[in-house]
Structures are given as structure tokens and as C-alpha cells.
Amino acid sequence: MPSISSVILQATSCLCERRGCMQLQQLQQELQQRCRMTNEDFIYIIHNCPQRFLLVPDGESYSVVGRTSLRLCGAYSRGERCGGSCQQLHLCRFYVFGNCRFGKGRKLCKLSHDVSSQHNAGLLRECTLHQLQEDELFLLLLQNDPQLLPEVCVHYNKGSAPHGGCRFQDSCSKLHLCQHFLQGVCRFGPRCRRQHAVDQRSQSVLEQRGLSRQLIRDLPVTYRNAQHLNATATSAAAASPAASPATEEICLHFIRNSCRFRDSCRQVHFHLPYKWEVYDGRCWSDLENMEEIERDYCDPAKTHSSDYQLVDFVTMTMESMPVRRLSTVSWVRRPPHYSLTTQWLWYCRAERGGWLEYGVRRRPRFVSKAEVDKLAADLRKCSG
């Protein structure tokens, strides 16, 4: 099978070619034509990359929606300065919409149209999006970045047609689209009195905002994908307290002082790529001298830490209290250029004691002339 990062990239490209969403089985067939992979490999990647793929129940099967945490930098779009370690894309939003009026004339746009600039290229490579075509990337941004899509008028979806409860009617600056259709649950279907497609009034509003006709035509699908993504984010936030991380992985970006989510990050913020904790029956708390404990843990000959806080690495306990080790994401789930990811090494016990790293060839042992002579003599005795 190709590398996991290349498969993720191919899967993302497939989704973007199909307007950001595909049936699970359809994606599997498409991907297996592009990459040599088993059914088990496909399921493993889809289920273990929630930051890229969202599974949405769809009848008796599932649909897969393309996902990314990348956003356009709001400060940059407003012409303001942002922090030196900005983790958001510096791009003209109208260029993303496919209709920047400055990109076609003599007057140059003040904002960047360069996806491959040093700043943008680094972020795209970090998120395994660097090999997407521009139109694929822009579609992914549109359905994930809530600041890009115009709002749907909530008042239009209340009251009777044709304008519902919207008092602005034809002069409304928001989109008049059926909210239930965008959520995929409109029971009226083609008989619905509300709009399931962008009408002439809404198209005019969108064109004034700089959206190309291609994007406008696909907008209902883009909104539906965005609805699925927003609903998942909202339910996840409601299910877990804001103060507690959603995973037990340490945030790589925080270690590099570049986490754009800050206090709302769903991963653990810690200054080391590992973290030792003990559970006292109420909560998990940090162990002292973590670096010494980690050094002992990385020595295959040791089953206990040598510190006064005696940690048993076999039972993962300390004085009968549970102990756990948090770490950064596994290296197999990130591109090769990522640093500070977690890579496990396996060791086997050597014949003459000590430990040898599994899979690493041992150097040939030097054999003295005396040993060779003795071996030859023993062989002659056996043959005689």
C-alpha cells in the first residue's frame, strides 16, 4: 500500500472532485482504482482520520464529507497585521470564490493569489493538502470555513411562502434556501414551497459578493456539507466540557508555539511530546521528574522507574494507583516531515543477555584466528 499520507491526499482529491462528499462505497471503489490497498486499509484510514473525513449516516450506509481545520486569516483579509506564527491561510477570499476583479485587469490585487507562497505552502504541507488542485482546495475551504459562505435567512424558513417571515423580501442580503433541504431532511422534496436551488434573486446577491457561477451552481450541496460539519462540531462541543481535551494526544502545534485553537483545542497542551500522570481516584495529575521517568521507560532493560516515585512499567501503576503516559500522534498518521511524532521501537532479548532492536541487523562479531583454528580442529575430529 502507498504511504498513509498519499492515500489521505488521494481520498481528499476524490471527495473534492465530487463536490466535497461521496458515498462510502463509491469512495472506496474510486480510491482502490488509484491506490493498491485492501478493504481493511481503507476502513482503517477513514475511521482513524476524523480531522479529514466525516462519516454521515445515509440510509443503510454512510456518506463521507471532506474536512479540514484550515481557514482564511480574517485579519489578513481585512488588511490588518496578524501574529508572526499565524496558522491560517493568507489568500484573497474573492480569489477563493473564483471571481476576483483585480486578478483579471491591470490593477493588481492587494491580497495574495499565491497558494504556493512560503506561508501558505507550509500550512498546506502540514495538513497534507499541498498537492490538491486549487479548485479542490477552495471547495474544501468553502464547506469548512463558516466565514466564507453567506448566511441563510432564518426568517425565510418561518411563515408562509414565498418570502416566509422575512420582512426584507427581495431586498434581503441573505440567501433564501430551505433549511430542511440543506440539512437533508425536507420531507416535501420537489413539492416544497421553499427554494431547493439558488434562484435569480439569490444568484444576483452571490455574484455581487464575488462568487463565480460554478460555485453558485454547487452551493446547495456545499451548504449541506457545511451543515453536517457544523452539526458534528456543535454536538462534540456540547458533549464534552470545554476545559477537558477530547483526546489523550499531545498537540504538536502547541509544542511548536503555533496552535491556532489555543484554549479551545481538543488535544492536550504540554511542552513535551510525552506526559506522565497518576490517577488519585478523583483526577489525573502530573508526576514529578517526568524526564527521568521517560528515560527509564525508554530503556527496555528496566521494568520500573529509578526515581523515588516508583512507577511499574509493566502494570502501569504507582503504589496501586493507575499511571498513564500521554504522547503525540503516531508517526504513521502524519507526513514524514513532521517532527516530534511518536514512533514505537520493539526490542527482543539477545541470546547472550541485553536487548536488541527488533528488525535491525546485528553487526558481524569479530572472530579471532584462535577461534577459527579451534573450530577447524573440532571439525577434523568429527570427520575423523
**131 closest CA partner among 37, 253, 11, 258:** 11
Kindly report the CATH class assigned to 4-66: mainly alpha
What's the rounded mean pLDDT across residues 321-350?
A: 83
Strands (E), the chain: 21-23, 53-58, 61-66, 274-279, 284-286, 317-318, 321-327, 347-349, 355-357
pLDDT at res. 368: 63
Q: How far apart are CA 140 and CA 15, in angstroms?
A: 9
Measured in degrees and rounded to the nearest 5, phi and psi for residue 47 equal -80, -25
Q: What is the pLDDT of residue 120?
A: 93
Type and span of the H or E element at 376: helix 369-383
Q: For all residues of the chain together, what is the average pLDDT?
A: 83
pLDDT over 50 (residue 234): yes
15-24, 262-271, 354-363: the lowest-pLDDT one: 354-363
pLDDT beyond 90 at 15: yes
For the chain, give every domain's residue range.
4-66, 74-126
Angle of helix 39-47 relative to helix 4-17, nearest 10 degrees?
A: 80
Of the pLDDT bands very low, low, confident and very high (cuts 50, 70, 90), residue 11 is very high
Predicted confidence (pLDDT) per residue in 22-80, tens digit: 999 999 999 998 888 888 888 888 887 888 999 998 888 899 999 998 999 988 988 88
Q: 276: which strand partners? A: 325
Do 78 and 92 form a contact (C-beta atoms < 8 A)?
Answer: no
pLDDT at position 138: 94
The predicted structure's pLDDT at residue 89: 94
Which range is least confidently modeled, 215-229, 279-293, 345-359? Answer: 345-359
CB-based contact 115:134 (threshold 8 Å): yes
Rounded to the nearest 5 degrees, what angle is found at the Cα of 235, between the Cα atoms of 229 and 240?
130
Q: What pLDDT does 240 receive?
A: 46
The percent of residues above 70 in pLDDT, for the chain, comes to 87
Q: What is the pLDDT of residues 177-206, one digit of tens each?
A: 888 888 777 888 888 888 888 888 788 878
Percent of the chain with pLDDT over 90: 23
What is the pTM for the complete model shown?
0.62
Rounded distance between C-alpha atoms, residue 213 and residue 11, angstroms:
26
What is the per-residue pLDDT for 244? Answer: 47
pLDDT tens figures, 350-380? 777 788 887 776 655 555 667 666 766 666 6
DSSP 212-280: -HHHHHTHHHHHHHHHHHHHHHHHHHHHS-TTS-SSSBBPHHHHTT--SSGGG-SSB--SSSEEEEEE-
What DSSP state is assigned to residue 150?
P
Give the integer Cα–Cα distance in Å for 287 and 279: 10
pLDDT above 60: residue 242: no
Cβ(128)–Cβ(4) below 8 Å: no
Range in 123-127, 132-136, 189-193, 357-361 with the lowest mean pLDDT:
357-361
19: left (phi over 0), alpha (psi -120 to 50) or beta: left
Give the per-residue pLDDT at 93: 92
